[in-house]
A and B are shown apart, each in its own frame.
Chain A
Amino acid sequence: MNAPPAAARYDCIVIGAGHNGLVCATRLAQAGRKVLVLEAAAQVGGAAVTREFHPGFRVSAGAHLLHLMSAELIREFKLSAHGLRYSGTQLPTTALLPGGGTLAIGAGMQGADAVAYAAYETRMRRFGAALGPVLAGVAPRLGTDRWADKLALLSLGWRIRRLGRKDMRELLRIGGMNVYDLLQEHFSSAVLQGALGLDAVLGSNFGPRSPGSVLTLLYRLAGESAARANGLAQPQGGMGALCDALAAAARAAGVTIRTDAPVARILVANDCASGVALQSGEQFAAGIVISNADPKTTFLQLLGARYLDNGFVRRVNHLRGKGLTAKLHLALAEAPRFAGVAAERIGGRLLIAPSLEHIEHAYNHAKYGEYSIEPVIEITVPTHNDQGLAPAGQHVLSAIVQYAPYALKGGWAGQRQAFSDLCVATLERYAPGIAKSILGCELLTPVDIEAKFRISGGHWHHADLALDQFLMVRPVPGATQHRTPLAGLYLCGAGCHPGGGVMGTAGGNAASQVLKQARAYG
């Protein structure tokens, strides 16, 4: 193998221009590194892209609301100067009831549950704020002699202690609980329980009764606490606009971004990462390679088991990361009319999760490799706030649908249409007439998400968020703190702590680890 010409040599190569890859690249470039980002797709953004799914109709292909990215990051990267606008912030959440009723979550609720909600919300937000810094930093490791790890653990303990005796006890009590039991303790309204419980299981391999489902809820709240300013927000032009702004910030910092450049493998020399080879055969050299791809893709496909120890490969193989979340996109000839939903709330989040039992039943199917007969759905109508996504007067509906297991019995090929029809029929019950107005429909099952966005298992979080794949053991022992067994190879994607969601934290932390390592070794 000949050494690549000087032009193809970089300090750092980032594989994948997802939001984390872009954040990582920008931070490295800001620290003076010569950085190349290689993206397999034609546009940057990974799964956080805006795609045309029907002629003239565009939609955020993955996550459709921005609520986890820290306000600090957005400010620091000057994303508004790079084109980030919001078509909506502080978007409201409305729970839909079968038979036409609705419940507007938040201020304005009536009765005992309204009082309970205020107390619950305040306390959970406090917990989220206390845990926020822990999720924002590099996860500490146990059993090391490093001060950074000890300090991070002490700081976690201190933050929990500082909640005060009563709240500390409550946090420790609920931390390992399931969200079903937690919500039963607080509320009597089934629809309120369902709406609040949905946040705990969205994107995860959990039902409300699964142990650890409070942890995923706390995780979401901790992420939101850092991004509090805008609440649930919708970037103008969809999620892709956010990544376009991130890419602009990256380029401004001096990052080179190549799209349509799928990486075939990570190159190794003298037991260190030495660059990457594209599928086209083109090679780039760099002493540091950072992968935004999921751990399985990174280790088993791009690097290969032969450069890794057997026990480590075994752990990577056992990483649980089979998605259960599908995305439904509808091109509509007219605005959908959800029975009982006030006009100003249509632009927010609409939930079909009328009770915790309903969600648990939906999850039961997934446990046995079936799709939910009565799926739970998070709906947005992005065109309500942003008419630019569809031709004038026409609309786009974007829905996150659960549960649609990756490993569906019998495979998705023959059942995609049936599930898609089932989802539309479910929507029709809440928004009569919607089926007739459909001009185009796209269903992305986890299998499609895997193929389109190159995420092994098609999982939002690249790997299940659960206690055994969390913090110091995420994604697997031996690959924590963004480092890998191969010197010079780092991870910066959702497979790392703190996980998925459009947050950018993993990318930023990976960059800090790369820079720290460089300082340590001169």
Chain B
Amino acid sequence: MTIRKTLALLLYILFLLVPIYWLLNMSFKSNTEILGGLTLWPQEFTLANYQVIFTDPSWYEGYLNSLYYVCLNTLISLLVALPAAYAFSRYRFLGDKHLFFWLLTNRMAPPAVFLLPFFQLYSSIGLFDTHIAVALAHCLFNVPLAVWILEGFMSGVPKEIDETAYIDGYSFPKFFVKIFIPLIGSGIGVTAFFCFMFSWVELLLARTLTSVDAKPIVAVMTRTVSASGIDWGVLAAAGVLTILPGMLVIWFVRNHVAKGFALGRV
């Protein structure tokens, strides 16, 4: 029984990894080798594709832009979601359930609907082609998610802790920062992971709201695909590099992820 389970799991992991291996494999080949025929591993191992990316500013600035707005978005989402999640987990107030549902519907609204109005909204307030515009736009789907996950974590913290702290003379802000936030540390980690992930993988809004100064890497890539034939090697190398930041983040939160879901409202 256990052998069968392990075998099934291994098969699935193989299924996940083979396409990624193929991308990695291609990123180390020259274009002539890629188009010349099928080889299971690079015959002439080359780092030229990566060199193109690290020396051309339009490529590496794409990465920096993406990282910049993703971090900004994660930070904003966490800052506004923390107090709100506390309110939802501890108090009942006028319209709380409807507000919560309304927040979730924004998570579900298809970005395709919002593209043009978003473009005009951010142009009209002079934020078009800035990092903060993309960060704010991504809040639309990240803030509701952050509130949702954090609320689950906070409900798991006994209420007596709050009451004891208030009796001991803590004010609300002091209690929140000194006592409460350390208690839900892993929750914040998991939430940050999810915000990072959804902001990092999003293409449509990021591409619509930027043109030159804040152009994200995903948009740089689409441009390369459509113009002047396809440079498969560089494309593959760029793809490999987009996977790395995510892997770094999952490495940091790997022990919290499972716990995070289990504790939550979910």
- Does B bind A? no
Q: What residues of chain B have their CB less than 8 Å away from a CB belonging to chain A?
A: none
Q: What residues of chain A have their CB less than 8 Å away from a CB belonging to chain B?
A: none
